[in-house]
Amino acid sequence: MSLFNENLKLMSCTEFRVFLKKLIEDKIEKEWTTNFIDNMNFVMIPRMTIKRRYENKGIDLIKLINSTSYYQKVKKNVNSRGSLEFKDK
């Protein structure tokens, strides 16, 4: 799933929620649930905080949104904690 937006701020809240739910469905996001996403307040938890959360796990969120090939690569290489790791470094 690719949502072609260069900037997280340009995505509507609905688009961003759909994307985060897709991460849960594809088992990239391991800690959140769809109910948590539905109730998430993007004022209390800014998008840049979410972006940094993924960066700490080795995942580039903007690239994840914009690149289907990167999305598939992350989906294949995410570990049980939701961090990106490459088995063949």
| Residue range 46-62, pLDDT digits in tens | 888 999 999 999 999 98
Q: For residue 3, is it within any domain?
A: no
- Establish how many alpha carbons lie within 13 A of residue 13's alpha carbon, considering only the half-sphere containing its beta carbon: 9
Q: Would residue 28 count as lying in a domain?
A: yes
Write out the residue range of the structural domain in which residue 16 sits: 8-77
Q: Is residue 56 part of a domain?
A: yes
Q: How many domains does the chain have?
A: 1
Q: Is residue 82 part of a domain?
A: no
Reported as a single tens digit per residue, the pLDDT across 3-22 is 444 567 778 889 999 999 99
In a domain, 21, yes or no: yes
Q: What's the rounded Cα separation, in Å, for the pair 13 and 19?
A: 10
Backbone angles phi, psi at 86, to 5 degrees: -105, 125
* pLDDT (0 to 100) of residue 47: 87
Do the domain assignments include residue 47? yes
Domain-embedded: residue 60: yes
What's the predicted TM-score (pTM) here? 0.83
Asked if residue 86 is part of any domain, the answer here is no
